[in-house]
Amino acid sequence: MSKPKLNIVCHLSDRTRALHDGTIRVEGVDANFIDMHVAETFFRMVKYREFDASEMSLAAHTTLIGRGDSPFVGVPVFPSRIFRHSAMYICAEKGIEKPEDLRGGRIGVPEYAMTASVWMRGVLHHEYGVAPDEVTWVSGGQEKPGRKDRVDLDLPASIRLESLPEGQTLTRAVCEGGIDALFCPHVPSAFTAGDPRIRLLFPDSRSVEQDYYRRTGLFHIMHTFVIRRDVYDTSPWLAQSLFKAFTQAKDEIQKRLGDPNWLICTLPWSVAEQEETRKLMGDDFWPYGIEANRATLDTFCQYAFEQGLTARRVAVEELFAPGTAEAWIL
């Protein structure tokens, strides 16, 4: 009997390579893994439901679950996660010396509802006391004009959200002083080019992020994984099969990263870097599963509610298929 064919989209990385090349297979299905830019994946999955399963923005997934009619069921694997203090840029001519100076200012974001924006607003609020309603948020394209949020927004009246003027970009706006800061996951072209008008809010962001982790234990999750609900309803076992395969692929690469005999990463001190990370974050510094990530996920659900993305605080268990909350033990 032939296995059902599944089109699965996730970005190619060291954590997913074994799935893409077939070294590790998903039990019970003939999986066709597709490498695609995540922004395109999210757009096509949220708007048109084109794939059977895909990587998904945690913010988009949480927002849709909060509305009660999500077409997706989540799997607690997290292909993308990164600390976001290093993604906060400021206009160098505004006299901004510390995060608190952004109170009453204008902060640009590519999308109000994107995951990176949620985390950065949460950090600004809970670490530095600047609440989301104490800032005017300005959305638009970072390098090209015209970007819009992937999900429709129904924000509280206290949240001030504007769109960039037609033809303007966020990078240009922060350099020219039209906005005071830019919170964005991609490095602005002006910063890469050495434009003196834009600089980092946290010049030593690595030290700030390491201190943040020591105090909070939070490692920001950017993306999770979802199955289209009609696919899940037909084959609910698929959630556990995907969870097992993604976890195995991630665990294998973490083991190989520490092998000094054969550097799997093209960085001369990658083994030492991994050891330093383990000292701070533990042996499994990129955990999958609900319980190992409960504090991070619960914090994100809190931020999504505080920032108006959800009308209620979503419970962590609502985000994922019930069968992934526990594992079979021999």
Give the single-character DSSP code of 43: H
Number of domains the chain contains? 2
297 in any annotated domain? no
Regarding whether 103 and 71 lie in a shared domain, the answer is no
Q: What is the pLDDT of residues 166-216, one digit of tens each?
A: 999 999 999 999 999 999 999 999 999 999 999 999 999 999 999 999 999
User: Among candidates 261, 209, 196, which has minimal Cα distance to 87?
Assistant: 209
Q: Which among 199, 216, 233 is the end of a domain?
A: 216
Contacts of 181 (CB under 8 A, 6+ apart): 88, 89, 90, 91, 96, 102, 105, 106, 107, 108, 174, 201
Is 106 among the domain residues?
A: yes
Same domain, 245 and 274: yes
Could you tell me what percent of the chain has a pLDDT over 70? 98
List, for residues 118-168, the tens digit of each pLDDT value. 999 999 999 999 999 999 999 999 999 988 887 788 899 999 999 999 999
Where among 158, 184, 216 does a domain terminate? Answer: 216
Which of 216, 245, 280 is the C-terminal boundary of a domain? 216
Pair 99, 128 in one domain? yes
Yes or no: say if 100 and 129 are a contact pair by the CB < 8 Å rule.
yes
Q: In what order do the strands lie in the sheet with 5-9?
A: 30-34, 5-9, 53-57, 221-228, 72-81
Contact 121, 181 (CB under 8 A): no
**Interatomic CA distance for residues 202 and 240, integer angstroms:** 40
Residue ranges of the chain whose pLDDT lies below 70:
1, 327-330
If you ran DSSP here, which 8-state letter would residue 326 be given?
S
Q: In terms of residue numbers, what domain contains 34?
A: 5-82+220-290+312-324
Cα distance between residue 59 and residue 38, in whole Å: 13
d(CA 228, CA 244): 18
CATH of the domain at 284: 3.40.190.10
- In this structure, the answer to whether residues 189 and 91 fall within a common structural domain is yes
Domain assignment present for 77 = yes
- Whether 24 and 129 map to the same domain: the answer is no
